[in-house]
Amino acid sequence: KIPVIIDTDPGMDDAIAIFLAFSSDKLDIKALTTVAGNIPLERTTRNALDLVRYIEAETKVAQGAHRPLIKTLETAEWVHGNTGLGTLILPESPNDVYYKKAWNTIYEEAQACDGKLQLICLGPLTNIAITLMVHPDIKDKIEKITLMGGSSYLGNTTPSAEFNIYVDAEAADIVFKSGIPITMVTLDATNKSIVKENEIREICSIESRVSSAVKELLYFNADFRKRSSGLDGAIIHDALAVATVIEPDIIEKGNYHVGIETEGKLTYGRTVIDMERVTKNNPNAEVSLGLDREKFVEMFKDMMKAYI
């Protein structure tokens, strides 16, 4: 099993990504670490605790940064609803957060895993940047970071920037310069990962312990997509990052140098991918630009079956 920590800001697509991760027998999930992003930290942490409890998992939840390194926090309730989970209401978990902060939890687990720990990052990269600053030797103790973030040119928050990178571009800059191997699951790939309406129906017809939550989340997302872009289906960005760790071949990828724009007035948070290799910079990331969509949809069905 691959030892992983999931750094997350749940967030409705984070919630499904978390369900998918716990459904896999290929992952050994050591902790969830929470960050402010889609909604403020207090609520992402509440949601993480409740989601873990809902699926009866035994993982610790460690709290991280309540704001980006430099910028003020910009949230996305307009996508995820005020609680972050759309219309889904979960029973409140009686469990408390882990006594260590996210960056100390990541360091602790990295040491315990002897260089084999992988990080799956589903929100702004603030916690990972702080870990690198507080524990600089962490860079030799993490096998790989797979993150949902960035794009080759599209933005979903500004015309140039994807949300997770835009919220804390300074943190992303630190992470991309760290030397830790990175797999970047971009909007280019996730926008093609649409789960169509008939497929949502099929997935939701599989009766399992998570059926009602998955149904609520997928239909909330599909409704949002229809209203915002006229699409027929759900786009669950973060689930593709988790799927990539479980089945690396699910994405089409290439190795490129990726720089993070932290100064541009119009382009703050843009991931500048040297696709034509016009600089002499060595690649620092494996970049996904496409995916095997059918396989992704199959993984949702397998997820449901794992919770029967």
- From the candidates 66, 80, 135, 237, give the one annotated as an active-site residue: 237
Please state, in angstroms and rounded to a whole number, the distance separating the CA atoms of residues 11 and 77.
Answer: 9
* Rounded-to-integer distance, Cα 90 and Cα 76, Å: 20
State the minimum distance, in angstroms, from the CB of residue 9 to ligand BDR: 6
Q: The tokens of 173 are what?
A: 């800059």
148 Rama class: left (phi>0) / alpha (psi -120 to 50) / beta: beta
Cβ atoms of 44 and 9 within 8 Å: the answer is yes
Stretch 5-64 residues interacting with ligand BDR (CB under 6 A) = 11, 13-14, 38
Q: Which stretch binds Ca ion (CB under 5 A): 77-85, 152-160, 238-246, 298-306?
A: 238-246
32 contacts Ca ion (rule: CB under 5 A): no
Let me know if 80 is a catalytic residue.
no
Please give the single-letter amino acid code of residue 179.
Answer: G
Question: CA 279 to CA 275: how far, in whole Å?
Answer: 10
Residue 83: Cβ within 10 Å count? 18
Which partner from the list ligand BDR, Ca ion, none does 156 bind, CB cut-off 5 to 8 Å by kind? ligand BDR
Which sign, positive or negative, has the C-alpha torsion 284, 286, 166, 280?
A: positive
Nearest-approach distance from CB 44 to Ca ion, in angstroms = 9
Window 156-175: contact mask with ligand BDR (x via CB under 6 A):
x-----xxx-----------
Smaller CB separation from ligand BDR, 7 or 141: 7
170, two tokens: 């300074």
Residue 283 CB, nearest approach to Ca ion (Å): 25
Instruction: Determine the length of the chain.
Output: 308
Q: How far apart are the C-alpha atoms of 161 and 153, rounded to whole Å?
A: 8
List 11, 86, 124, 233, residue binding Ca ion (CB under 5 A): 11
Strand partners, 286: 183, 255
Among 65, 79, 174, 243, binds ligand BDR (CB under 6 A): 79
Contact code string over 100-139 relative to ligand BDR, x by CB under 6 A: ----------------------xx----------------
Residues with catalytic roles: 237
Residues that bind Ca ion (CB under 5 A): 9, 11, 14, 122-123, 238
Residues that bind ligand BDR (CB under 6 A): 11, 13-14, 38, 76, 79, 122-123, 148, 156, 162-164, 237-238
